[in-house]
Structure 1
Amino acid sequence: MDKIFEVRKLLAEKQVDAILLYKPANVSWISDFTGDSSMVIVAEKAEYFITDSRYTEQAEKEIPASFEIKEIRAEVRYKVLNDIMTQNNVKKLGIEGQYITLADMKDFEQAFSAEYVMVDNEITALRAVKTEAELKIMRKAANITQDCFDHLLGYIKAGVSETDILAEMAYYFNKHGAGGASFNPIIAGGPNSSMPHAQVTDRILKPGDLLTMDFGCEIKGYKSDFTRTIAISGLEPDMKVVYNTVRTAQRAAMDALKPGFSGKEADKIARDIIYGAGYEGLFGHSLGHGVGLEVHESPRLSMYSTDIMKENMVVTVEPGIYIPGKGGVRIEDTVVITETGMESFYTATTELLII
């Protein structure tokens, strides 16, 4: 997919003369730029990359040669934008209306006169279908993440704290070429694991604990996302039932994914298994979400999602059961939708690991 070409097609579709991309993830997506404080304008016959002197050299190295780089200073920022609009006879401008702040919008309106049209949904739809180049980067991030998990299995034991694990994880990512964690990791042991988005604490792991680790790393801005729940030195029988129920639900939903399948259909498969096993009310979040330059993006896998799976979309599948005060289980894979089904980025077992 030629991203610039696809965005330029939106000019006719949305009846605009140019499109301004301001959201960092959208700027990175279309330009391959890994910095920030930048904008992109795609007009009918030209595309512009707008940044300041801190990033000019970096942009020259990273972005496609077709972009004309415009270096700006804060005090002339809107003059540069106005000049581009005038040169390209822009009367109607596509913008990210869901992202641009009211203050920025007022500045834009003062800088140049144009009619504004929201293009958020169209850009989101383009980003949801990954290119082969994007998939290659995401697989690399996933490989480092799984290698980190394998490393942690040899490190984790009773007596280690959640913060110890967090530090070891960060060290591993930094040592093995990742650009850091893709989000604040969730490392939740014992009763903390009943909170789906628990904060990392200094709690010490004890025999019989469940430990949920939800984490990922970043490569060139692209994120990985992965969760496994393991047991420390043993597990109560009732929590083994919980674990196996989550595992069954995840496998069934993953196996059903294919082009044409909706997000709510996938969610229903996993939810029916969990509710049918007697855990209704204990799986409160959605089944999954898209991953890419943002760790949560389109498409969505939820009870209400009408998003339709397409080939090369990347989504997580992460059902869970959470029993307040006792513990919880979540298992998550990130998968790419293929021509006939799906393929997980991970080969790590989902069988219960007791260490």
Structure 2
Amino acid sequence: MNALIKKETSQRFAKLQQIIIQSQADACLISTSVNQFYLLDFIFDGYIFIQPEGEPLLFVKRPSGMEGENVIYIRKPEQIPDYLRQRNISLPRKLMMENDVLPFSTALRLQAALEMPQLQNVSGEMRRIRSVKSEYELNQMRECAKIHARVYEQIPRIYRKGMTDIEFQIELEREMRLAGSTGIFRAFGENMDIFMGSILAGDNAQVASPFDFALGGQGASPLLPIGANGTTLAAGTTVMVDMAGNYRPWMSDISRTFAIESVPEMAYKAHQVSIDICNIISETAKAGTPCADVYFLAEKRVKEAGLEAYFMGTEQQAKFVGHGVGLEINEPPVLAPRSKEILQPGMAIAVEPKFVLPGIGAAGIENTYVVTDNGLEKITVCEEGLTIL
């Protein structure tokens, strides 16, 4: 581990230890991949045991070959108490765990193995810590955004007349992988399954989905009812591209819309309103701005344009206009009318004011911004206009 990464992870552990102290807990147990990576810069099968002070212990099941005085190999969690006692560490009476992510059976097993401590959920606190990025993390996102934009620039080249949305997505996914995409799209929560992103062509953009994304789509199978469904990219309709910016561990989020040959003026109007909203928010919002106010800025411009019926869907309208981005694509804060969150320096947010126009398709853009004391820094820089294919 190089010095920069060691400094980063040390600072992250210090933040978590402060949460443990504030919560009056005795220890914290971390086992999910995204939080392990955040704290260690690598992932393993097992548990990180963190106390209010001192170095963490790593209880490892896989992979083999990990070394270090704080690395302890186990076959099952029931072995953890004996190893703690060997190091003169008392079993925790109050233990923080990722209770809203862990399977219920896993949480119960860990609680029983540790002789029934009181459990407290740490998932929300971990997401809050991760929502404010260091300069190292933000630079990862800036690098990712540049690659993301370069891949989107290939879209006019890969388009072929008569292709379906799935064929189009396959070609774009190829470009993504060649550019270094990890091929996995990390998202938090239930009903967030998706494969590398979403392509919405024509009226498929109207189809409501059970998944918690801004827009839906029927999907190619009832097993994954989101996104592309085999729709032909037909003249007079649009195709919205919202594919993963997963070229670094810290991600970026971009949506762009393309017109197939020609589209009605309504599509250009809605698309320009989306650009206007992004510009208004980027010129107005900064550290200290309530997230609800950001949503209301968007809502005001939508009402001025008379496009309320099409904003963030038709059959099912999403009640937010953006979200945080980081190791997961949907981190805090949420830019929603009921949000109590406040923008802080170092946050990264995706702003996605989108419209769905019956008979035409989706319109609008999405950009990722870094929150500063003086405003928002746009890191996703590529053509925003309604581009003709």
Separation (CA, whole Å) in 2 of partners of 1:274 and 1:320: 10
3-state secondary structure, aligned to 1:222:
coil
What is the aligned partner in structure 2 of residue 340 from structure 1? 374
Separation (CA, whole Å) in 1 of partners of 2:41 and 2:238: 40
Residue type at the aligned position of 1:179: T
Separation (CA, whole Å) in 2 of partners of 1:237 and 1:219: 35
Separation (CA, whole Å) in 1 of partners of 2:254 and 2:73: 39
Deviation at 1:102, TM superposition (A): 2.2
Deviation at 1:236, TM superposition (A): 0.9
What is the aligned partner in structure 2 of residue 151 from structure 1? 154
Deviation at 1:325, TM superposition (A): 4.2
Separation (CA, whole Å) in 1 of partners of 2:287 and 2:181: 31
Separation (CA, whole Å) in 2 of partners of 1:99 and 1:144: 31
> Percent same amino acid among aligned pairs?
23
> In terms of mean alpha carbon deviation, does 294-303 or 112-121 score higher?
112-121
Contact kept in structure 2, 1:170 and 1:181, CA below 8 Å: no
Aligned residue pairs: how many? 345
Deviation at 1:220, TM superposition (A): 5.0
Separation (CA, whole Å) in 1 of partners of 2:294 and 2:341: 11
Deviation at 1:115, TM superposition (A): 2.4
What is the aligned partner in structure 1 of residue 164 from structure 2? 161
Separation (CA, whole Å) in 2 of partners of 1:168 and 1:84: 52
Contact kept in structure 1, 2:151 and 2:179, CA below 8 Å: no
Deviation at 1:213, TM superposition (A): 0.5
Separation (CA, whole Å) in 2 of partners of 1:122 and 1:18: 14
Separation (CA, whole Å) in 2 of partners of 1:49 and 1:228: 43
Residues 202/148 of structure 1: CA separation in 2 closer, same or farther (3 Å cut): same
What is the aligned partner in structure 1 of residue 61 from structure 2? 52
Deviation at 1:161, TM superposition (A): 1.9
Q: What are the ranges of 5 or more consecutive residues in structure 2 without an aligned counterpart?
A: 1-7, 186-193, 208-214, 218-226, 312-316
**Pairing partner for 2:46 from 38, 55, 80:** 38
Deviation at 1:332, TM superposition (A): 0.2
Q: CA RMSD in A?
A: 2.1
Contact kept in structure 2, 1:166 and 1:187, CA below 8 Å: yes
Contact kept in structure 2, 1:181 and 1:217, CA below 8 Å: no
> In terms of mean alpha carbon deviation, does 279-288 or 264-273 score higher?
279-288
Contact kept in structure 1, 2:310 and 2:355, CA below 8 Å: yes
Deviations 1:64-84 (A, max 9, x none): x7x8222222xx332125533
Residues 324/230 of structure 1: CA separation in 2 closer, same or farther (3 Å cut): same
What is the aligned partner in structure 2 of residue 87 from structure 1? 88
Deviation at 1:146, TM superposition (A): 1.0
> In terms of mean alpha carbon deviation, does 174-183 or 160-169 score higher?
174-183
Residue type at the aligned position of 1:194: Q
Separation (CA, whole Å) in 2 of partners of 1:235 and 1:11: 56
Contact kept in structure 2, 1:299 and 1:315, CA below 8 Å: yes
What is the aligned partner in structure 1 of residue 223 from structure 2? none
Alignment of 1:258-269 (within 5 A): 258-269=286-297
Deviation at 1:39, TM superposition (A): 2.2
What is the aligned partner in structure 1 of residue 337 from structure 2? 303
What is the aligned partner in structure 2 of residue 235 from structure 1? 263
Contact kept in structure 2, 1:267 and 1:301, CA below 8 Å: yes
Determine whether 1:122 maps to 2:150.
no
Contact kept in structure 1, 2:322 and 2:349, CA below 8 Å: yes
Residue type at the aligned position of 1:160: M
**Pairing partner for 2:98 from 87, 96, 99:** 96
What is the aligned partner in structure 1 of residue 78 from structure 2? 78
Determine whether 1:20 maps to 2:29.
yes
Separation (CA, whole Å) in 2 of partners of 1:15 and 1:22: 21
Alignment of 1:246-261 (within 5 A): 246-261=274-289
Deviation at 1:127, TM superposition (A): 0.6
Separation (CA, whole Å) in 2 of partners of 1:5 and 1:140: 26
TM-score normalised by length of structure 1:
0.90
What is the aligned partner in structure 1 of residue 216 from structure 2? 197
3-state secondary structure, aligned to 2:95:
strand
Residue type at the aligned position of 1:132: E
Residues 81/319 of structure 1: CA separation in 2 closer, same or farther (3 Å cut): farther
Residue type at the aligned position of 1:133: Y
Contact kept in structure 2, 1:318 and 1:333, CA below 8 Å: yes
What is the aligned partner in structure 2 of residue 273 from structure 1? 301
Deviation at 1:327, TM superposition (A): 1.7
What is the aligned partner in structure 2 of residue 222 from structure 1? 250
3-state secondary structure, aligned to 1:12:
helix
Residues 146/5 of structure 1: CA separation in 2 closer, same or farther (3 Å cut): same
Residue type at the aligned position of 2:232: I
Contact kept in structure 2, 1:288 and 1:317, CA below 8 Å: yes
TM-score normalised by length of structure 2:
0.82
Separation (CA, whole Å) in 1 of partners of 2:367 and 2:81: 43
Residues 217/31 of structure 1: CA separation in 2 closer, same or farther (3 Å cut): same
Separation (CA, whole Å) in 1 of partners of 2:108 and 2:325: 32
